[in-house]
Structure 1
Amino acid sequence: MKNVVIGFLGTQLDMGKKRRWKPTLSLVSHDHFKVDRLEILFDMRFNRLAKRVQREIKEASPDTEVLLQQLDLNDPWDFQEVYGKLFDFARSYGFDDDRERYHVHLTTGTHVAQICWFLLTESRHVPAHLIQTGPPGPEEETPKFDVIDLDLSRYNALQQRFDQLSREHSDQLKGGIKTRNLAYNDLIDRVELVTSNSDEPILLLGETGTGKTELAERIHSLKLDRRRIKGRLVHVNCATLNGPDAMATLFGQRRSYLGAAGTERSGLLREADGGLLFLDDVDELNPNMQSVLLHAIETGRFYPLGSDHEISSRFHLIAGANRDLRSLTALGHFRQDLLARLNTWSFTLPALRTRPEDIEANLLHELGRCERDLGTHVGFNANARENYLDFAKDPATRWPGNFRDFSSSIRRLCTLAPRGRITRPMVITEIQTLQADWKSAQSNDDFKLVADVMGDAVSDVDPFDLVQLAQVIRICRNSSSLSAAGRTLFAVSRSKRKTQNDADRLRKYLGKFDLEWGAI
């Protein structure tokens, strides 16, 4: 195959005034690299120099075909002009990869031209390798010559360094825990990409205890490392924003609002300026605060209480929620426009019970944390460890509080461990404690939920029916209509029926307990 080299005329270096070495001429001085055709891009203002370089190359290498390609540039340092004209040149060139091997000479031309060449070759608009040349060293006779192929495996090491950095960032988001669940690891990889490349809001969804707060803290640390923010993390529990001080807590308050000394407040949004604002349980905000918050997120400006002037605060935003915001929006409990603003990037953290392969890694993590807090080494006896892991990974173990339950369980075992050893009887006692707590909590939750709807009539409901009815009520309250609730409740059996009247089926079920959709 023929070697074809394309490059700019060196308007300074190719004159050879500062040193004898001329980069374009040096291309044909290497025995190991034969140049069959050399195409020199030149501006008409340097036509005489281009002709001279053409003659010099013909004298040094008679077999090299030298073509002069006129490419006039009004401003060789204007990126838009240089890239546009090189792009047009590449589009009209007519590359023949089967017969010719193309190279781009990077040494000549402005820095802008070099960047444009690199972008065009990397994107394969110019299917070429890159050539770098340089003058010979003090004790060398041959000029320097290096061919760079952006696809060569020799540059795998560079890519591996970037991949390693990306893995380190993902490990940082996982708290250093060596997780093996593929879905979770993929989710963290996506979070890492978004955190490193986007400043748009992030919405973290998932059951309570799935690690939303910890992930928000790690995202803040990663953004600091990547220099995307400079400020601190401000954690706001929206469930606590109620009562007369709620607006002042979030948006601040001028002293003139109450007229008493010491009543002025900067507000949490102002404190998050330049940093990251984490709105935990954002679904607990009342409609009025949702409206003011939306304006603050979109504009970076808001009015403190008692102020006639807006103040500014620019922050990265993470919002967390345990409930389905779509369902809340359908029921009118959450603003659609606020959800749309928060939902640019949405990630649902999986429950602990869906990640059995990560239980052991998290167990080691919790043991390490307990050791640091308690100041003593703690470990499981072999049979105790096996017993606990079997329980923890069992599909019947629901872990309703997810990592909160799991972390508390390990801490209890570590605190009570005699001489730092967790025994099998201790594990059995802990398992019994967890199961009793979960059963009691579930029973109480179901009873309270049904009693909220039926009042004293709940005493007439059998325990068998109580569990089912409570689940039906939960789904109804999270559904926009009777039909939507029916589709969810009868998702399996409805596919086997010739007629699918889900609303009527649900209405009849509720009728058994003298209940109606409106009452729920």
Structure 2
Amino acid sequence: MKKLVSIGILGVQLDSFDPQRRWDRWRPTVSLCQQEDLLIDRFELLYEPKFAQLAKTVSEDMQAVSPETEIIRHPVNLGDPWDLESVYGALYDFATSYPFDTENEDYIVHITTGTHVCQICLFLLAESRHLPARLIQTSPPKHDPSSSPGDYRIIDLDLSRYDQLAARFEIEKLDTETQLKSGIATLNESFNAMIREIEQVAIRSPHPILITGPTGAGKSQLARRIYEVKRAKRGVSGSFVEVNCATLRGDGAMSALFGHKKGSFTGALDDRAGLLKAANKGVLFLDEIGELGLDEQAMLLRAIEEKRFLPMGADEEAESDFTLISGTNRDLSQEVTKGRFRDDLLARINLWSYQLPGLSQRKEDIEPNISYELSRYAKDHGRQILFNKEARRVYESFATSPNAKWTGNFRDLNASITRMATLAGGKRINQEIVEAEISRLQCQWGSAEKPTADDELLEAIPEDKANDIDPFDKPQLAAVLRTCRDSKNLSDAGRKLFAVSRKQKKTSNDSDRLRKYLAKFGLNWEGIIK
């Protein structure tokens, strides 16, 4: 059975006493330990430091009436006990730093003692699950206090009944959204709407989440932020376990994910628990899940549905209650069509599916991300580097232009800011550094986009004409130029190009037709074949 832990505030008025007659009156904190049908294993007693002696005596009396109860005293400076901000801040700090263990302990919060403001704050913290507990209210006996500890009532909050209180936590909700965005004040409305939905899913749903998007779009970072939100809201209590499925092959994949017994294959010198087991009660992030083999997919499906799986070489199944987040830059529906991904697994992991846009699709978010990368550099390297005004203008103008491909997305941006900050040394990033970086990026993206054979052919077009050619005309012009270069002369090229239409004419002048066509683009025979 789970241990029962009570959290309560020392009542300066109700728990105080005449030293000679303290057992003649009802004291709510002591009475809680006197209840015959309520065995409290541990009592966390919060008190103002100036009432330390009272807290000590009350603790001793609690121990006397309930030797089985461990009493732990916590000095907490509430400030003005009637000031909501002061009291809530102090109790919030206690709640967020306390090591709750909901797997092994049940918690009750005593709301009889303390000012009304204290009681309200305890209620709010329990309702928001900062205190993952039920409430307990005690009342004095109707007759002789020395003969009865009085009555108590446990209040189990049904959060669904308090929708109207949601507005009180709007600030915290915004904080959660900011956390999911790594603290970046993003401006792209569709991205922000997606983050708002993910925040709700992270808090309310234990089901799998699928994050898709190009390499470098931030899938791994978002998965970790989702885990942090879940853990902060007591949705999970275990670890965040991340694995790139592209690195898993053969027996190594099975072993890494599901574990193995010693001797189950060559090289299995010891037992291995596996990553699914390591993620028990936590979050398992499988990046590039589309790289998993079909056998691993089958075992993963069963582990998701039944929370059970069979390690390699084992006779008994293992259990793991994990939350799955998957990431991929592939179209898994197409992978299913090609037979490389199981349709039943896809149906199971994409209950909540989110497509992360690339950086080039979020041009309005580039400016805040530049600021974020600068602050990240300062944190990692211990020195603050900034742009001068003109250099920042030039860089942002380029970064948000069509010329900025951002093929590596946020990885490209991070690398770019890191290079410039490094070259700036202890000074500001100036325009010279920015212009050199822009050239570097253009070269990098240009080499990534190798010119096609058609592009090379079209290089023969004069520059003043090249910009006036529609994309519709370029493939045809490239085909004409290719035929010309493969022909002996202008007439030979004309005969090949007009082989069908020339049959419908009584007389044909293929050379003239071809010469006029080339002239439209500023070309001639001599310029093409040289």
TM-score where L is the length of structure 1: 0.55
Contact 2:261 2:268 in 1 (8 A): no
> How far apart are the structure 2 equivalents of 1:207 and 1:245?
26
> How far apart are the structure 2 equivalents of 1:323 and 1:291?
19
The 1:251/1:391 distance shift into structure 2, 3 A limit, reads: same
Measure how far apart 1:398 and its partner are. 1.7
Measure how far apart 1:336 and its partner are. 0.4
Counterpart position of 1:328: 335
Counterpart position of 1:250: 257
Q: Give 1:376's aligned amino acid.
A: R
Cα deviation digits, residues 204-237 of structure 1 (max 9, x gap): 0111111100000100100000001000100010
Matched, 1:387 2:394: yes
Counterpart position of 2:284: 277
> How far apart are the structure 2 equivalents of 1:298 and 1:430?
50
> How far apart are the structure 2 equivalents of 1:291 and 1:383?
56
Measure how far apart 1:355 and its partner are. 1.1
Matched, 1:405 2:412: yes
Aligned with 1:374 (options 374, 377, 381): 381
Matched, 1:303 2:327: no
Point out where structure 1 has 5 or more consecutive residues left out of the alignment. 1-154, 448-460, 467-489, 491-520
> How far apart are the structure 2 equivalents of 1:216 and 1:438?
28
Counterpart position of 1:181: 188
Written as runs of structure 1 = structure 2, the 5 A alignment for 1:97-112 is none
Counterpart position of 2:175: 168
> How far apart are the structure 2 equivalents of 1:193 and 1:159?
13
Matched, 1:442 2:446: no
Aligned with 1:429 (options 420, 429, 436): 436
Q: Give 2:219's aligned amino acid.
A: K
Written as runs of structure 1 = structure 2, the 5 A alignment for 1:479-494 is none
Counterpart position of 1:231: 238
Q: Give 1:366's aligned amino acid.
A: E
Q: Give 1:380's aligned amino acid.
A: F
Measure how far apart 1:462 and its partner are. 4.1
Measure how far apart 1:259 and its partner are. 8.2
Matched, 1:293 2:296: no
Counterpart position of 2:274: 267
Measure how far apart 1:463 and its partner are. 4.2
> How far apart are the structure 2 equivalents of 1:228 and 1:160?
21
Q: Give 2:438's aligned amino acid.
A: I
Contact 2:219 2:356 in 1 (8 A): yes
The 1:465/1:342 distance shift into structure 2, 3 A limit, reads: farther
Q: Which moved more, 1:197-206 or 1:236-245?
A: 236-245
> How far apart are the structure 2 equivalents of 1:179 and 1:259?
51
> How far apart are the structure 2 equivalents of 1:342 and 1:209?
22
The 1:248/1:439 distance shift into structure 2, 3 A limit, reads: same
Measure how far apart 1:258 and its partner are. 4.2
Q: What is the number of equivalent residue pairs in this alignment? A: 298
Measure how far apart 1:358 and its partner are. 1.0
* Aligned-residue CA RMSD (Å): 2.2
> How far apart are the structure 2 equivalents of 1:339 and 1:345?
11
Q: Give 1:304's aligned amino acid.
A: P
Point out where structure 2 has 5 or more consecutive residues left out of the alignment. 1-161, 459-471, 473-530
Aligned with 2:369 (options 358, 362, 367): 362
SS of 1:347's equivalent in the other structure is: strand
Written as runs of structure 1 = structure 2, the 5 A alignment for 1:77-116 is none
Q: Give 1:185's aligned amino acid.
A: N
Identical pairs, percent: 46
Counterpart position of 1:11: none
The 1:259/1:373 distance shift into structure 2, 3 A limit, reads: closer
Measure how far apart 1:288 and its partner are. 1.3
Aligned with 1:214 (options 221, 235, 238): 221
Written as runs of structure 1 = structure 2, the 5 A alignment for 1:134-213 is 158-213=165-220
Written as runs of structure 1 = structure 2, the 5 A alignment for 1:20-59 is none
Q: Give 2:227's aligned amino acid.
A: H
Cα deviation digits, residues 156-214 of structure 1 (max 9, x gap): 99543222221111111011111111001000000001011100000001111111000
Q: Give 2:208's aligned amino acid.
A: P
Q: Which moved more, 1:162-171 or 1:337-346?
A: 162-171
> How far apart are the structure 1 equivalents of 2:192 and 2:332?
24
Measure how far apart 1:365 and its partner are. 0.6
> How far apart are the structure 2 equivalents of 1:193 and 1:260?
45
Q: Which moved more, 1:259-268 or 1:239-248?
A: 259-268
> How far apart are the structure 2 equivalents of 1:357 and 1:318?
28
> How far apart are the structure 2 equivalents of 1:261 and 1:361?
49
> How far apart are the structure 2 equivalents of 1:256 and 1:369?
46
Contact 1:377 1:420 in 2 (8 A): no
Cα deviation digits, residues 376-411 of structure 1 (max 9, x gap): 110001110000000111133120110000111001
Measure how far apart 1:464 and its partner are. 5.3
Contact 2:260 2:268 in 1 (8 A): no
